[in-house]
Structure 1
Amino acid sequence: MTTADSSVDKGSVSAVVGDKLSGRVALVTGGTRGIGAAICGSLAAQGAAIAAGFSGNVTKAEGFLADFQGRFGTAVTIHQGNVASADDCRRVVAEVIEQHGRLDILVNNAGITIDKTILKLTDDDWHKVLDVNLSGAFFLSQAALAHMVERGSGRIINVSSVIGEMGNIGQANYAASKSGLFGLTKTFAREAAFLLERAGKLSDDSVGITVNTVTPGYTATEMVAAVPEKVLDKITAQIPLRRLGRPEEIARIVHFLAADASSYITGQVWAVNGGMDM
């Protein structure tokens, strides 16, 4: 784990635009690139301290850290771990709480694809994608929920995909993992409210613990950039708005759901897909 506790004068940091999340700490898995990096930026722009998770590319993660240090006036840390490992999930959550003193927002954004048609998928192909995209979200959320219940408040936001809603040829494992997040979200949302009530921490003026899912459509990231141009043209033709999404458009919904003012929204699935599925 590496820390950059920025000493930049907040008055000179143009990227800080609000204080909706001031004093909050957010852990974003897969947070050093693509949609995850945009989410980190959006949360930090509202005053949140950021803990960005990453798996293997230390150089890129350190570059992310240096960039954040120059743009925002909030603390930022990076945390390396394997989301497919339950032990690593628990370790990273504990590490964030130890370093920042609390954890208010968990964004389960990390995800992988291994695309093959159903008859060509191996056992390993299936398990790897489910372990990262679904099991990882469970173990991280389980660890975070225990801390949030103890504190009486928190936000868990899962990043699913339009593929989880529609399915897609060659992505049975990915679609299953992303649609699995819907059931996980609704169950965690119910149990979070139940646990707060049992602990006597659920009241009319409480921000509570909410659990929601955001489902991006095809978004302009490194993952989509790897799709052949002809295939991408066909995909874009299926989107009513005729363009890819932008990472910041996904991030905006995440920071909306993370705010105290969204305390009456829980167990919901928020689609951001240009109308591809409606």
Structure 2
Amino acid sequence: MSNQILKDKLAIVTGASRGIGEAIAHNLASKGCSIILNHSSPRSSSACSSVQASLSSQYPSQTFLVVQADLGTLDGPLQLVAACGGKQIDIIINNSGVSGNEFLPSVTMAQFERQYNINVRGPLLLIQAALELLPNDRSGRIINLSSISSSMGFIGQSVYGGTKAALEAMTRTWARELADRATVNAVNPGPIDTRMYQGTEDWFKEHIRPAMEMTPVLRVTDGEKGALDREISEEVQKAGGRRGLPEEVAGVVGSLCLPEMGFCTGQVVCANGGMRFQLG
């Protein structure tokens, strides 16, 4: 049985076709939300439609609309908000993002522009486009998906880490500017078992191994080791710990959307197993 605490709420989830975005959509739907499921390109159309079909089957009384809009373009955010048909937008999850690791001498302007356009400008333009449709009673919720990379100083992440730091800075500003409309928070996942992280270079995974080993919740217990098959167990041992699950990040995001979280704003909330607190 679903928990209807967010019944009659409308949410936008960007990058909803897979990974963390898909998990967030399922979490919010289970709480009663209707959702605009955004994806950026025709390549993601089938995957996003599958998410829509799954949600519609489980929650037939709610509405789930798939909208293709490239948030890396100037028009994409406007197109996404227009799809709401003028309805109040109660929740916005800025999840869509791209990553890329490159050592400083090899960073190109094309890499810079792509990541900043999608990870920073996209959320800015989306919130700007949605302003008139946000609630006026502080019940709105805006959650920005940042990353542990914003504060860890990982090598090769001059650009990606910078985009997430910028997103966290905007989170704090929006929390003040939109205080009468919505709470605004960020969530900073660590290494999560998604297609994006699976495609990360081996040298980068080796670089963050010490951080993985020091992260409390990423350590695999003896009981968990027995439940892992040999291939997964060897991968975890090589990496220095397990990856987080999209559902674990979605749980944090979904909690921030609850009515009783109205006193939490301008924060960067941990979704990284405790990797961040190593910095003090």
TM range (shorter): 0.7 to 0.9
Tell me if structure 1 keeps the 8 A contact 2:154–2:208: no
Q: What does residue 157 of structure 1 align with?
A: 143
Instruction: After superposition, give the CA deviation of every residue in 1:72-126 in whole Å (9 maximum; x if it has no partner).
Output: 232111110111123210221121244xx32100000000013211110111110
Q: What does residue 138 of structure 1 align with?
A: 124
Tell me if structure 2 keeps the 8 A contact 1:236–1:244: no
Structure 1, unmatched stretches of 5+, are 1-13, 197-207
Q: Does 1:170 align with 2:156?
A: yes
Residue 15 of structure 2 aligns to a residue whose secondary structure is: coil
Aligned-pair distance for 1:168? 1.6
**Within 2, Cα distance between the matches of 1:42 and 1:83?**
23
TM-score (norm: length of structure 2): 0.83
After superposition, the Cα gap between the structure-2 partners of 1:216 and 1:132, relative to the gap in structure 1 and judged at 3 Å, is same
**Within 2, Cα distance between the matches of 1:155 and 1:190?**
13
Instruction: Give the percent of matched residue pairs that are identical in Structure 1 and Structure 2.
Output: 33
Whichever residue aligns with residue 122 of structure 2, its letter is G
Aligned-pair distance for 1:232? 3.9
Aligned-pair distance for 1:234? 6.0
Residue 61 of structure 1 aligns to a residue whose secondary structure is: helix
Q: What does residue 212 of structure 1 align with?
A: 185
Q: Does 1:189 align with 2:175?
A: yes
Q: What does residue 72 of structure 1 align with?
A: 59
After superposition, the Cα gap between the structure-2 partners of 1:229 and 1:70, relative to the gap in structure 1 and judged at 3 Å, is farther
Match of 1:148 among 107, 113, 134: 134
Match of 1:96 among 60, 81, 84: 84
**Within 1, Cα distance between the matches of 2:32 and 2:198?**
31
Give RMSD over aligned pairs. 1.8
Q: What does residue 226 of structure 2 align with?
A: none
What is the 5 A alignment of 1:177-256? 177-193=163-179, 196=180, 208-227=181-200, 232=205, 235-239=208-212, 240=215, 241-242=218-219, 243-256=242-255
Q: Does 1:277 align with 2:276?
A: yes
Aligned-pair distance for 1:259? 1.1
Structure 2, unmatched stretches of 5+, are 220-241
**Number of residues paired by the alignment?**
248
Deviating 4+ runs (over 6 angstroms): none
TM-score (norm: length of structure 1): 0.84
